[in-house]
Amino acid sequence: MIWGGIEAGGTKFVCAVAAEDGKILERTQFPTDSPVPTVAKAIEFFRNYSDLAGIGIASFGPVELSAGRITSTPKPGWRNFGIADAVADKLGVKVAFDTDVNAAALGEWKWGAARGLDTFLYLTIGTGIGGGAMAGSRLIHGLHHPEMGHIRVPHDGSFAGVCPYHGDCLEGLACGKAMEERCGRPAEELPVDDPVWQEEARLLAHGVVNWICTLSPQLIIMGGGVMKRTTLFPAVRTRVSALLNAYVPIPEIVPPALGDDAGVLGAIGLCL
């Protein structure tokens, strides 16, 4: 018996199959195109496995969890696309569905950095900014699902932000796209001493402080493309410590133990 996972990201899709122990047997990835051809590529990958017991989908959001569909995304063509049904109809297996960041949190809890914890936070800082969290050993869902990247934090107003819904929410100010718009080239090309990294650390630290004060996580995992610039970790830690001023204890802030597989493994974890 093997299990499938789709990390449906705004930039790329990752598909993988794994045994119950979370060992990936095969993995593929491709850029996110419009819904129909993108899902067709995923189906093609899974068609090779006749013993597929189920598929988990970890989707970019916002989503309507019960309907298995993406809702108010600014991403062309994906608004109100029912990805869970589209996959289930074609493959005839049970499909589990959650947000990409909730799934990644689950993956890190089952097989990665958050094993044994009951309350922790997984963040991704990439094309967008998102967070998934567990409290009391359960993923937080609630009325809808967390959309952590869209919190508001203090900033100097010199940059209007890129979020099409909020402008200067944290995602609008600090996601990879925001950094690129600020500097005119992709974040990964910016030298380590570019002042934009200081501002990035300052913004992310404000987000982290707000999540520490709200959730009191035992651990914070920060993944995503922007966090590949690993100097951000000590820079964020220093600022979080200064902002909290010893008022409450600060959890460890670490990269995902599962690296770039956190999302797709978490997707598999959803259907196990």
> Which stretches of the chain bind its own copies, using CB under 8 A?
62, 72, 118-120, 131, 133, 135-136, 138, 140-155, 165-166, 168, 206, 209-211, 213-218, 243-249, 251
Distance of closest approach, residue 24 Cβ to its own copies, in angstroms: 29
Distance of closest approach, residue 137 Cβ to its own copies, in angstroms: 8
Distance of closest approach, residue 241 Cβ to its own copies, in angstroms: 13
In terms of CB distance, is 206 or 229 closer to its own copies?
A: 206
In terms of CB distance, is 149 or 266 closer to its own copies?
A: 149
Distance of closest approach, residue 186 Cβ to its own copies, in angstroms: 26
167 phi and psi angles, rounded to 5 deg: 70, -95
Distance of closest approach, residue 247 Cβ to its own copies, in angstroms: 4
In terms of CB distance, is 166 or 228 closer to its own copies?
A: 166
In terms of CB distance, is 119 or 127 closer to its own copies?
A: 119
In terms of CB distance, is 15 or 148 closer to its own copies?
A: 148
Spatial separation of the C-alpha atoms in residues 104 and 113, rounded to whole Å = 11
Distance of closest approach, residue 245 Cβ to its own copies, in angstroms: 5
Distance of closest approach, residue 204 Cβ to its own copies, in angstroms: 12
Spatial separation of the C-alpha atoms in residues 72 and 25, rounded to whole Å = 34
Residue 250: closest CA among 258, 260, 235, 240: 240
In terms of CB distance, is 1 or 246 closer to its own copies?
A: 246
In terms of CB distance, is 25 or 242 closer to its own copies?
A: 242
